[in-house]
Structure 1
Amino acid sequence: MIKPLSSDAIIHKYVVTQENSNGELKKITFQNDKDFNFAYDIMDELAKKCPDKLALLHISNTKKERRFTFKEIAAYSSKTANYFKSLGIRKGDKVMLVLKRHYQFWFCMLALHKIGAVAIPASSLLVEQDYEYRFQAADVHYVVASDSGKIAEYIEKADRTVGMLKEKIIVGASREGWRNFNEEMEQFSDKFERPVSQEEKMSGEDIALMIFTSGTSIHAKLAAHNFRYPLGHFVTARYWNQVDPDGLHLTISDTGWAKAMWGKIYGQWLCEAGIFVYDFDAFSAKDILHMVEKYKITTFCAPPTMYRVLIRMNLKDYDLSSLQHVTTAGEALNAEVFYKFYEATGHMIYEGYGQTETTMVLGAIQGMEPKPGAMGKPNPLYDVAVMDKEGNLCPVGEAGEIVIRTADGAPNGLFTGYYNEEEKTAQQWHDGYYHTGDQARWDEDGYLWYEGRIDDLIKASGYRVGPFEIESELMKLPYVLECAVTSVPDKTRGQAIKASIVLTKGVLATELLKKEIFGYINENLASYKRPRIVEFVKDLPKTTSGKIKRVEIRRQDWMAN
């Protein structure tokens, strides 16, 4: 059983739960959330209730340690809000944050919530054309970015093309044409009053956050979440992560992905737990294990890819006795990894499932016994069903699409729609159901088992990648006649990306040409989108209407392996 929340925990004002005798959540309802704002109603209140309690323990890529209390986090968020407001940022303005795992991310997120501006976290792996599209799709006029790598350079190039940015703010070393966040923010007051004017005050239904999600189309969609969205993550943190209010939680995720919202800010602080952040440049299993050992991490979450690496380590060389609970999400976890990790540590890995559009929808939560390979049971926050193509609900054992019933209203945690994409929203959300696009089947115990994506989405190293975007980039090469991007089995990543290429007539399929293609890929695609395998083929399998049958390529590769 997880440690109970204190009777004076702030979350009790907003959430009412019902559990069975095993502590399993059976029902959750929300109250007093009409004008809920996480920055004011949770963080500022925590600064009053437990000002000296550790909120964030941050370790930089050089291993520099910084500790922030709830009082300090609230103060820095107010300083940042005043700073942003001085730059002209107002309610509804779109602000992109490309901050890796820098501690300034937390200041910025809360500051934007206080102003009522829309935070748009973005991956540090993006390249120039990614920014061009995202600036235009999201109406971005402000960007706060890390000085790391080529991030600022790519943003500058994109801005020269689209010309939308009013201010560029850099975290780290000064750069010409950019404001310096660290130097300028410190000059402002650490007091910021909640807006009361009709023009500035916020409702729980206003948009607070937008996150890009990948799919099978060339461009990512932009999922919009309102100010009540953080409340949905109470279940994520309390019943799935099972965070300890007096402990430290570590989720491995860049802040540019929705998973950071799951495990690095909202739910953990709703439970009044400390958050541990390691701002690494490259994943090192040894480093992560050393952090768990040194800082006494109590709860841990990582994608299956990283567990596959961890089980190859001699885990008994590390003191992991502080760990109380471990979880995973991002892609299906194979049973072999589950058993090997359990054998080495004594901890069962509790799997969870959700999307950029949601909080945790399915999972093995408190009171449940995980079934290796299963997604878990529905979060009581969501009315989950499995539906066939004709709209009929599937019986036990029959695969269908995971859907969420919304006829009686959308729960806190479900997105409000795709920004400026009414047609795409309607394609996935209609007739009283939100359609996830993922297939699964029920078992007799009420657990769901993942079957695969309805479309051809690839999940590699925990990232969701659409093949059409990669194919479109490869088709820019003059000697590529046709191509298809699919997944292949990979022991480390779960899935790797493969490009099957048909060359134009007269072009020889040589290793030198393959090397040239890999060079082009590395220059023009974000690292998580890059094919690891390039295969030259004479033709591609197609339907009678001429559509490429990616599923056939994928099936052959998976059967061969």
Structure 2
Amino acid sequence: CTMSTLLSFCGLKLPSKLLHRVSIPSLNQCYGACTPQNFSDYDSIKQDFRPAVPEHFNFATDILDVWTEREKNGSQLSNPALWWVTGEGEEIRWSFEELGFHSRKVANVLSGACDLQRGDRVMLILPRIPEWWLVNVACIRTGTVLIPGTSQLTAKDIKHRLETSKARCIITSDSLAPLVDSVSSDCLKAKVLVSQGSREGWLNFGELVRLSGSDGHVKVCTLQHCVSVLYFTEALYLPPENKVWVDGEMTTVVFVDRYWLDLTPTDVMWNNSDTGWAKSAWSSVFAPWIQGSCVFVHHMLRFDCKTVLETLAKFPITTFCSAPTVYRMLVQEDLTRYQFKSLQHCVSAGEPINPEVMETWRLHTGLDIYEGYGQTETVLICGSFKGMKIKQGSMGKPSAVYDVQIIDEDCNILPPGKEGDIALSCKPRRPHFLFSGYTDDPMKTAATLRGDFYLTGDRGIVDEDGYFWFVGRSDDVILSAGYHIGPFEVESALIEHPTVAESAVVSSPDPIRGEVVKAFVVLTDAYTSQDPEKLVAELQEHVKKVTAPYKYPRKIEFVEKLPKTISGKIRRTELRSQEWGKR
């Protein structure tokens, strides 16, 4: 983008996100000023949305640095760019200028001490600390490819990601450094430790930044098809050990920020998703900062309802984004004890949210929860947008960037009220915002397409008013509290236990998490009778040690045999239907 185009952006409302080989609408094609938008005229807004695609774009230099210039020119940005707090009262507030200063020094570290070139891959596994945001921006500045990961990864997970991605650098904390050392890849050029201490074989992040000298950094020219971020995702059609990684780049999704998050430079946004998930990039980096909004972060290593409510009451947070699981837990607290004087807008994504939760939240806060539905591969597909009538239980109407349909197995578009596959039209023109495919896995990529449509892997219904309703997953992947969990990995962990002969893992309804992992377990002949509850706890702890802790089965049922097909495949569908009462 040219500088004149970027300067014209400064008064515009514009979101952005890292995703998978998609395109960037031209900044001067965005509509409206940075003020809250009304979505009451859905049809005309959707019809008029026509973003263009520039050849070059770099989020750090073309967006963040422009906000820095506005600060220097006296524009009234009343809030910091990043506002980080801890439960112990520690705070860090960075303006856009300070964010730019620190991120350029980190960019010099990546290019200098770490000897990384444009296109090299950087694995980043950190909790919610300021360094996570600095590395995000620094990778964009240098053209290196970011690979975020959750701090709950096991040694096995880290090894798989390093070997698959061929990462040249890993940046993590002292808590995970021992796991990295136990599985280190030959591809790694540098291991960087974000810690006050030191570790043999590791570079110290703080020391490198202090020694980096000038904050000057040469701008990297980024083409629209340059890879910017890679996300590992649970396999929908393959066993979890064949997890795939997806390639991505910058994209600007004007519709999301303008009509769903509804952000302006006066807003303070708190999105509490894990730093390893794509939602953190979407709502904790790109969407707020492209609007000049403040990104609010609470360190909070362990989720605590009272901490969340106290934070919403204490700080001037205007926009709150969280998974339905969090809202389900919050409404079980005594909300009458808190006053949210600044809170204006609440959104939810990651899984369907219960109408009862929405009503309870509205009753006690006076605020609706605006639901959003999307994927790492797509960003937002449907949503309840500001100004639109909310139908509790519905995921709203399609984003302007997609033609969303409910189709049958023959790609026929189904009428309202008929259940089918939720699909996105890909022909005659593939949407700019849709990922191009799973890296090095053409078969899995092909499996996402049916005729002229991209399959989301979900089932749904559209009503007469054009609102979409989620029915469930069309595959075996379990969506629990925003985490996608493949059954095969849990089954593989269970079978390692000496008492387990066979198991089948499916989703099971849960009032808090929406759905949880349930394991049907067949015990070995060698099993000696013991207290069933004790064995359940033993198996749960075993799974936590073998794989990421959040994947353990919260429910276990012992059975004599599992339902199978003639060819011997486990019929998880039958067990899942049994759990959800659909027999």
Equivalent pair of 1:14/1:33 in contact (CA under 8 Å): no
**How many equivalent residue pairs?**
545
Query: 5 Å matches for 1:389-404?
Result: 389-404=409-424
Query: Structure 1 residue aligned with 2:40, among 22, 25, 30?
Result: 22
Q: TM-score, normalised by structure 2?
A: 0.89
Secondary structure at the aligned position of 1:140 is classed as: coil
Deviation at 1:406, TM superposition (A): 2.2
Aligned partners of 1:164 and 1:502: how far apart in 2?
Answer: 41
Deviation at 1:555, TM superposition (A): 2.2
Secondary structure at the aligned position of 1:263 is classed as: helix
2:454 is aligned to 434
Deviation per residue, 1:226-264 (Å, 9 max, x gap):
23x2x12x3323211212320200111111101102210
Query: Structure 2 residue aligned with 1:314, among 331, 334, 358?
Result: 334
Is 1:50 paired with 2:50?
Answer: no
Deviation per residue, 1:335-375 (Å, 9 max, x gap):
11111111111111110000111211110012311111001
Deviation at 1:121, TM superposition (A): 0.7
1:551 is aligned to 573
Secondary structure at the aligned position of 1:559 is classed as: coil
For the aligned residue pairs, the C-alpha RMSD in angstroms reads 2.2
2:541 is aligned to 519
2:23 is aligned to none
1:129 is aligned to 156
In structure 1, stretches of 5+ residues that fail to align are 196-200
Query: 5 Å matches for 1:296-311?
Result: 296-311=316-331
2:11 is aligned to 8
Query: Structure 1 residue aligned with 2:177, among 143, 147, 152?
Result: 152
Deviation at 1:124, TM superposition (A): 0.7
1:120 is aligned to 147
Q: TM-score, normalised by structure 1?
A: 0.92
Secondary structure at the aligned position of 1:125 is classed as: coil
Residue range with higher mean Cα deviation, 446-455 or 312-321: 312-321
Deviation at 1:6, TM superposition (A): 9.0
Is 1:180 paired with 2:204?
Answer: yes
2:100 is aligned to 74
2:3 is aligned to none
- 1:13 counterpart letter in structure 2: L
Equivalent pair of 2:83/2:294 in contact (CA under 8 Å): yes
Secondary structure at the aligned position of 1:498 is classed as: strand
1:407 is aligned to 427
Secondary structure at the aligned position of 2:484 is classed as: strand
Deviation at 1:327, TM superposition (A): 0.6
Query: Structure 2 residue aligned with 1:286, among 306, 326, 333?
Result: 306
Aligned partners of 2:327 and 2:366: how far apart in 1?
Answer: 14
Deviation per residue, 1:285-311 (Å, 9 max, x gap):
111122112211001111111101111
TM-aligned CA distance change 1:206 to 1:429, over 3 Å:
farther
Query: Structure 2 residue aligned with 1:163, among 186, 189, 202?
Result: 186
Equivalent pair of 1:83/1:185 in contact (CA under 8 Å): yes
Deviation at 1:113, TM superposition (A): 1.0
2:563 is aligned to 541
Equivalent pair of 2:116/2:168 in contact (CA under 8 Å): no
Q: Percent identity?
A: 35
Equivalent pair of 2:13/2:257 in contact (CA under 8 Å): no
- 1:557 counterpart letter in structure 2: E
Deviation at 1:104, TM superposition (A): 1.0
Deviation at 1:172, TM superposition (A): 1.9
- 1:518 counterpart letter in structure 2: Q
Aligned partners of 1:33 and 1:410: how far apart in 2?
Answer: 17
Query: Structure 1 residue aligned with 2:470, among 435, 438, 450?
Result: 450
Which of the pair has the greater relative contact order for Cα pairs under 8 Å at 6+ separation? 2
Secondary structure at the aligned position of 2:117 is classed as: coil
Is 1:141 paired with 2:182?
Answer: no
Equivalent pair of 1:244/1:298 in contact (CA under 8 Å): no
Deviation at 1:276, TM superposition (A): 0.4
Equivalent pair of 2:38/2:259 in contact (CA under 8 Å): no
Deviation at 1:30, TM superposition (A): 2.6
Deviation per residue, 1:2-57 (Å, 9 max, x gap):
xxx99734848344348888365424333362111111110111111224841110
Aligned partners of 1:351 and 1:417: how far apart in 2?
Answer: 27
Equivalent pair of 1:23/1:366 in contact (CA under 8 Å): no
Deviation per residue, 1:163-221 (Å, 9 max, x gap):
332211111232312111122113222111213xxxxx420111101111113422332
Secondary structure at the aligned position of 1:106 is classed as: helix
1:531 is aligned to 553
TM-aligned CA distance change 1:353 to 1:556, over 3 Å:
same
Deviation at 1:477, TM superposition (A): 2.7
1:259 is aligned to 279
In structure 2, stretches of 5+ residues that fail to align are 1-7, 15-25
Deviation at 1:522, TM superposition (A): 2.1
TM-aligned CA distance change 1:352 to 1:166, over 3 Å:
same
1:193 is aligned to 218
Aligned partners of 2:93 and 2:522: how far apart in 1?
Answer: 54
2:17 is aligned to none
Is 1:489 paired with 2:509?
Answer: yes
TM-aligned CA distance change 1:73 to 1:413, over 3 Å:
farther
- 2:548 counterpart letter in structure 1: A
Secondary structure at the aligned position of 2:581 is classed as: helix
